[in-house]
Amino acid sequence: MLMSLVIVGSVAYDALQTPHGKVDRILGGACTYSALSASYFTPVSIVGVVGEDFAQSDVDLLLSHGIDVEGLERVPGKTFFWSGVYSDDMNDRRTLVTDLNVFATFDPKLPESYRSQPYLFLGNIQPTLQRNVRGQMNGLKLVGGDTMNYWIADHRADLLATIKEWDFLLINDSEARLLSGKSNLKHAAATILNLGPKTVIIKRGEYGALLFWRNSTGVQWVAAPGYLLDEVFDPTGAGDCFAGGFMGYLASRGIDLGTAEREPRELLRAVIYGSVMGSFCCERFGPERFRDLTRAQIDARFQEFQAATAF
């Protein structure tokens, strides 16, 4: 039986401009991307907030993936809105507009049916809110999440108290250096492991990801490559789709907090599935690729990874 995954985070609308074109309003948000990605592996329930302007067609997209939206709260006001422009090589982006709108007062409340679910992924929200959500769960096998530079720099004490209770932390390379105070990523990961998480995944964009965990002989690591696309159309949400693929796969395999750090093969497979899902996200604007993506296509790309890294 597949285990259910609860994902908490932002549901938004984005305006995007890349060298391939622009869209003025498209579904976005970390919770949205993570949930769509994870839904290919395991049942997903989401917790977020939207305004009165949130379209039924976007609810229908989530429902079409079997995503439970009982925890998606609709309140008076407008949905979180973000607008950005990407550089010609799409390695950098410039934020034009960030209107938090109803997300500014987001206070996640889990429906009763969510509270006994075994898997929890905490998207990039205030650390105290992440900790409060974890406190509402009563049967967790595996919990983890991500964060960002703002929380690391300005809410460090709250963040440290929060990630101390996590099984894994998903973070990019600049965030890992900021959190640890170490420039060397191996040293940075070892420092972060001492803060509580049993596993650390350092995302490196197009260069893939690094997986770190500790066993009886010390800190262990594996490097997973990024998938080389013929063309990157829009990288928005790729990191969130990585998170969804990673967590969705672990939930589908029933990995629990007592064995996760002793399952490096499963953790590595989860990282590869995360990279696969992130790569598909980049093929169209926003989450559009998930309208017709199939599990068969996902598994075929996973096999490409295996073939490319076997030696």
Helix axis angle, 185-193 to 173-180, nearest 10°: 60
Amino acid 260: pLDDT? 52
pTM of the predicted model, to two decimals?
Answer: 0.95
Q: State the pLDDT confidence band at 262, using cuts at 50, 70 and 90.
A: low
**238 or 306, higher pLDDT:** 238
Does 15 score more than 80 pLDDT? yes
Does 311 score more than 80 pLDDT? no
pLDDT over 70 for what percent of the chain?
97
Overall fold of domain 5-309? UDP-N-acetylmuramoyl-L-alanine:D-glutamate ligase (3.40.1190)
* Domain boundaries, given as residue ranges, for the chain: 5-309
Does 106 score more than 60 pLDDT? yes
Does 225 score more than 90 pLDDT? no
Q: What is the pLDDT of residues 164-213, one digit of tens each?
A: 999 999 999 999 999 999 999 999 999 999 999 999 999 988 888 999 99
d(CA 37, CA 16): 20
**Picking from 27-36, 68-77, 138-147, 259-268, which range would have the lowest pLDDT averaged per residue?**
259-268
3-state secondary structure labels for all residues of 262-308: HCHHHHHHHHHHHHHHHHHHCCCCCCHHHHCCCHHHHHHHHHHHHHH
Amino acid 130: pLDDT? 96
Helix axis angle, 56-64 to 30-38, nearest 10°: 30
3-state secondary structure labels for all residues of 171-193: EEHHHHHHHHCCCCHHHHHHHHH
Amino acid 261: pLDDT? 53
Are 236 and 280 contacting, i.e. CB atoms less than 8 angstroms apart? no
Mean pLDDT of 287-302: 97
| Residue 77 half-sphere exposure toward CB, CA atoms < 13 A | 17
pLDDT over 90 for what percent of the chain?
81
Amino acid 216: pLDDT? 79
d(CA 164, CA 159): 8
Mean pLDDT of 22-50: 97
Residue 286: phi and psi, rounded to 5, are 50, -140
